[in-house]
Amino acid sequence: MAKSRVPSSSLRSSSATGIALETGYRHIDTAQAYYNEEGVGRAVAKSGVARDELFLTTKVWIYHAGEKNAAASIDGSLHKLGCDYVDLLLVHQPFGDYYGTWRALEAAYRSSKARTIGVSNFYPDRLVDLCRFSEIKPMVDQVETHVFQQQRAAREVMDRYGVAHESWGPFAEGRNGLFANPVLAAVGAKHGKTAAQTALRFLIQSGVAVIPKSSRKERMAENFEVFDFELDAEDLDAIRALNQGESLFFSHYDPESVESMADFGHRVL
């Protein structure tokens, strides 16, 4: 791709981010592997929203693993985002030289290039590894979390080490018929809410930070309307029973999944 061209994914991201900021969103989650940091940066600059009102997250991909490579990629991400720091910087996957990558994140934290550092997709064993053998413990673990995969075992480990639990895919990207799930629909109807709002509220009440994904303004607005009701004990028990305890996307213990992620890094970065 010629350097003068803007990737279509970046253009789409700029538009979606702009709509989100207009709607009132202030937490923007991006990553090197999403190939849209430039688009997010343009949307933020165009929005006129003050930097200190935003919470920006980006992630270092496995293609940039290792202390030196990761450090250079962090500077590259900041340049693309058009800012001096990010609020949350994550190691995107627990593969490659993630020890070296983590040291680069520690350095970014000490130099104020990142206000918070953490990991993404780290299963409990890998999270304990970093917590026990690093100078600075991960502050956040962003993992697949939704009503069908509630990450109970992982959460116990996070709580033990004081790591905040953040969800990617809080709607499971619609899998398992989440938006029409009869349990979520029934609980939602009780409170005058949709199944999607009920799913978000469940995670929030469970102490999970959520980053719902949508490109439609009306859906973005709907996702905000989850702070004016509270699920009771009966509601919570009904939704907890939906837990299947396994990924609806991929397993990080599966060799083919790891190979696919490694190949993806070389294709797009």
Task: List, by residue number, the catalytic residues.
Answer: 34
Is residue 59 within 8 A of residue 120, CB to CB? The reply is yes
Looking at residue 163, the DSSP 8-state letter turns out to be P
Q: Give the C-alpha separation, 267 to 264, whole Å.
A: 5
Question: Which residues sit opposite 86 in a β-bridge?
Answer: 114
Q: How far is CA 177 from CA 171, 180, 184, 196, in A?
A: 10, 6, 10, 11
- 135 by Cβ neighbours in 10 Å (0-12 / 13-18 / 19+) ranks as exposed
Say how many C-beta atoms besides its own lie within 10 A of residue 260's C-beta. 12
Burial class (CB in 10 A: 0-12, 13-18, 19+), 196: buried
Give 15: exposed, middle or buried? Use CB within 10 Å, 0-12, 13-18, 19+.
Answer: middle
Amino acid at 218: E
Whole-number Å distance between alpha carbons of 143 and 200: 15
Which DSSP category does 197 fall into?
Answer: H
